Amino acid sequence: MKTIREIQDEIIRLKRENDICILAHSYQGQEILETADFTGDSYALSVKAAGVQNKTVIMCGVRFMAETVKILSPDKRVILANPEAGCVMAEQMDKEMIEMVKPSYEGYTVVVYINTTAALKTICDVCVTSSSAVQIVRNIENDKILFIPDCNLGAYVAEQVPDKHIELLHGGCPIHAGVRVSDVRAARAAHPNAKLLVHPECVPAVVKLADYVGSTSGIMDYARQSDGKEFIIGTEMSITEHLQFECPDKRFYNLSSGLVCKNMKLTTLMDVYGAVKGIAGEEIKLDNETIRDAKRCIDEMIRLNHE
């Protein structure tokens, strides 16, 4: 039987031999991140995806992330390492539902979180990620915004950009939205010197109590650069583990034991091994029309993400 280290070495050898780029979202396990060419949050991965030269890209993350890579690199083979890995939020609102809702919001710019299907993006105006949403909404020419599907991220954006009129629908991430104010109180009581860093997918009452609010990369950068020694992490708990690996002299605590995304945990090192060998994973197929229309929305994200 091979060790984790030997499997990782095999993956790295095979990806080089077969001209494969491995992208891994920061919610993946440490053993997977170590085999990746790029790691990061949804925004960083989507930008990297557009620039990579390799013929094949393997996405270690969830389906909407692999679809985003395919939209930005339609000529590449894009493989989702574990075909079962979806995102609960991305499955909440489909294209047909938003097509029905849109006539009630005439004159609104429809801003869609990247955690959505490629099909839904085709009928929206601008895509955003958690790290880019505030800046992009600020830069949208229109003052009337319909923000879908995450009402918690949308509420956070509305608070940061008070001059826009932002309408929300009731979607969101059940894992982040499951964190309660009582979890914050308990964590603060247990770790009174720790800073609280939370993802904007948490409910506004929790976000309000944070010392820092940001995307997965934003949280990691903050913790790395801070002079603080202790941090309570209000996002998926793999971030707590990665930070502890990177900064062994600091201490990191989970805000809640419920912060586990089981979809993100589905991908194993053996899935990645199977994918580089060409015997596992699913190739993402999108028709040309979907790619063209969804790309418009993602291109707008890149165009509008400036100071």
* Interaction site with ligand SF4 (CB under 6 A): 62, 87-89, 115, 173, 175, 236, 261, 263-264
**In the complex, least distance from residue 26 CB atom to ligand SF4, rounded to whole angstroms:** 11
**In the complex, least distance from residue 216 CB atom to ligand 13P, rounded to whole angstroms:** 4
**In the complex, least distance from residue 85 CB atom to ligand 13P, rounded to whole angstroms:** 11
Place of tokens 């009337």: 144
**In the complex, least distance from residue 217 CB atom to ligand SF4, rounded to whole angstroms:** 14
Residue 215, binding choice from ligand SF4, ligand 13P, none, Cβ under 5 to 8 Å by partner class: ligand 13P
82 neighbors 266 (Cβ within 8 angstroms):
yes
**In the complex, least distance from residue 171 CB atom to ligand 13P, rounded to whole angstroms:** 13
If the CB atoms of residues 8 and 152 are measured against ligand SF4, the closer one turns out to be 152
Neighbours of 4 (CB within 10 A): 11
**In the complex, least distance from residue 218 CB atom to ligand SF4, rounded to whole angstroms:** 15
If the CB atoms of residues 52 and 175 are measured against ligand SF4, the closer one turns out to be 175
Which residues make up the interface to ligand 13P (CB under 6 A)? 41-42, 115, 129-131, 173, 201, 215-216
Residue 263, binding choice from ligand SF4, ligand 13P, none, Cβ under 5 to 8 Å by partner class: ligand SF4
Measured in whole angstroms, the distance separating CA 96 from the mean position of its chain's CA atoms is 24
- CA angle 130/135/139 to nearest 5° reads 135
If the CB atoms of residues 161 and 237 are measured against ligand SF4, the closer one turns out to be 237
If the CB atoms of residues 206 and 276 are measured against ligand SF4, the closer one turns out to be 206
Distance CA 73, CA 45 (A): 12
Place of tokens 């590449």: 76
Residue 276, helix vs strand vs coil: helix
Question: Is the Cα dihedral 31, 32, 34, 39 positive or negative?
Answer: negative
Helices (H) and strands (E) in the chain, counts: 15, 13
**In the complex, least distance from residue 261 CB atom to ligand SF4, rounded to whole angstroms:** 3
Neighbours of 110 (CB within 10 A): 20
Distance CA 257, CA 100 (A): 38
Q: What is the DSSP letter of 263?
A: T
If the CB atoms of residues 90 and 276 are measured against ligand 13P, the closer one turns out to be 90
Residue 122, binding choice from ligand SF4, ligand 13P, none, Cβ under 5 to 8 Å by partner class: none
Residue 300, binding choice from ligand 13P, ligand SF4, none, Cβ under 5 to 8 Å by partner class: none
If the CB atoms of residues 22 and 175 are measured against ligand SF4, the closer one turns out to be 175
Q: What is the DSSP letter of 178?
A: T
If the CB atoms of residues 223 and 261 are measured against ligand SF4, the closer one turns out to be 261
Measured in whole angstroms, the distance separating CA 281 from the mean position of its chain's CA atoms is 20
Residue 216, binding choice from ligand SF4, ligand 13P, none, Cβ under 5 to 8 Å by partner class: ligand 13P
238 neighbors 28 (Cβ within 8 angstroms):
yes
